[in-house]
Structure 1
């Protein structure tokens, strides 16, 4: 009896995993819902990597941000990584830091940055899916906590117009960025931003991080794409199937 108990106690405990879809299954499930409104997160979902923090670093390296602004934001980002600055606070500060700069200069910088550092990371499968949905007349929205200059530039590759983008943004006065925040869509804030745009129950939602979970939860069909570990755990709890583009190593 004792040896039997020892055998049982040493047996591995099964670990729950999220159901992973093939590309064919992923496309099939999305189209089977015959969506009319589709909502996409951007960083990590339409392309790999975090364009928001990468743009911040790039503008520091290129001198677009002053030394004083760079030092201040670096210290805030360290605190964010330590967990003492919230997600919504840092996302807001990462767009407010450009106050005083010309919007034309910021959009030009965003175009150069995206073209040279992010465009190659677009997931071909997601570009194909967005195009197929658009061919079917689906209304496409992009929602992101990254600044509007970068996101609006990036989603042009998907033929998503700027008026269908909900992103972190500040007011523009006399052609220059101010510190007055207009929106910071993250966590429940993504749901709030969609609601203000008149979208309360999107048919399908795609996101990659736990900060997209609230938005995924209001969809008729929730599709975690290239999910973070936290979102994998939420997907298991919610029985959401997950999808990994071919370029992603799990």
Structure 2
């Protein structure tokens, strides 16, 4: 499966190179495609009033709902519950303790009803108490073996082919692409390079606290059961400033969690571009926005016209959604 994913990624890479005169071949001739090409051309053409030197060509992408699917639950949530079931035999007390009992029964609504405390308890039980290398190995195994409950494909296959094409197109034109997501940074870094072509040092996400230790003469990074940073909402611009140190000029999001990142990217002078992936295709993917408990798009949807943010209509803008379609 990993070989198939790599082959699909390089097929997109070859497609962009072979069709340089007509980029973004997986996109319909839509306002979104036109805006992306026009912006890239303007910012990379020497002598253009909007020309940007390569160092300033920074593009940021949300992950969940922007680069891969996120319904009916964030994919890291599926990992959490799978990991919980895997650990359950070592913790018989979980059968009667909440929120473990509800989670093991698959009653996700009850778990979520417990709020942040409930989710954090489960997160620490499944993501902490091990070294960084041990956690990475667990995620790597899961991402290449677990399958989505309804789409019946491995989670790293449920990436948006048109967005992979955009990332490749931007990099071919001197842009550096970063993932800025509310998901766990250590979780995403395991597969980001293989899946998106984004190296781990260009992935920004939420994190738990860690510490350095020497164990049996070997250096390790221990994952601690305590939240360190939440890279969502107003945390995204903070994360960008802290870890990139340069204001992006392009931002792709899909939900209200990306509102502040879009505002930060497109505010002020100079060329900038903000785009929102709008989930409008109930047949090939999912349809949702304002009322969805996952990937809610409400405030950002209302703010888009006044800010010049472009809506990417999945149903009409994309010729296909997943690489395997």
Q: Do they superpose with TM above 0.5? A: yes
Q: Quick one: distance in 1 between partners of 2:76 and 2:171?
A: 26
Higher alpha-carbon deviation: 238-247 or 139-148: 238-247
Q: Quick one: distance in 1 between partners of 2:122 and 2:28?
A: 34
1:164 and 2:198 equivalent? no
* Equivalent residues of 1:187, 1:215 under 8 A apart: yes
| 2:84 match | 60
| 2:212 match | 173
Q: Quick one: distance in 2 between partners of 1:195 and 1:94?
A: 30
| 1:85 match | 115
Q: Summarize the Cα distance change of 1:129–1:65 in structure 2 as closer, same or farther, 3 Å threshold.
A: farther
Regions of 4+ moved over 4 Å: 68-80, 89-95
Q: How far apart are 1:47 and its partner, in Å?
A: 0.8
Q: How far apart are 1:59 and its partner, in Å?
A: 0.9
Q: How far apart are 1:186 and its partner, in Å?
A: 0.7
The 5 Å alignment of 1:236-247 reads: 236-239=302-305, 240-243=309-312, 244=314, 245=318, 246-247=320-321
* Equivalent residues of 1:145, 1:185 under 8 A apart: yes
Specify which of 139, 158, 168 is matched with residue 110 of structure 1. 139
Q: How far apart are 1:208 and its partner, in Å?
A: 1.7
SS of 1:218's equivalent in the other structure is helix
Q: Is the helix fraction higher in 1 or 2? A: 1
Larger RCO: 1 or 2 (CA < 8 Å, sep 6+): 1
The 5 Å alignment of 1:1-250 reads: 23-25=28-30, 26-34=32-40, 36-49=57-70, 50-63=74-87, 67=91, 72=98, 74=100, 78=109, 81-82=112-113, 85-86=115-116, 95-97=123-125, 98-116=127-145, 117-156=154-193, 157-170=195-208, 171-174=210-213, 175=220, 176-199=222-245, 201-219=247-265, 220-227=272-279, 228-230=288-290, 231=297, 234-239=300-305, 240-243=309-312, 244=314, 245=318, 246-247=320-321
Q: How far apart are 1:43 and its partner, in Å?
A: 1.3
* Equivalent residues of 1:223, 1:241 under 8 A apart: yes
Q: Quick one: distance in 1 between partners of 2:87 and 2:298?
A: 38
* Equivalent residues of 1:91, 1:145 under 8 A apart: no
Q: Summarize the Cα distance change of 1:92–1:193 in structure 2 as closer, same or farther, 3 Å threshold.
A: farther
Unaligned stretches of 5+ in structure 1?
Answer: 1-21
* Equivalent residues of 2:277, 2:311 under 8 A apart: yes
* Equivalent residues of 1:205, 1:222 under 8 A apart: yes
* Equivalent residues of 1:92, 1:184 under 8 A apart: no
Higher alpha-carbon deviation: 147-156 or 44-53: 147-156
Q: How far apart are 1:60 and its partner, in Å?
A: 1.5
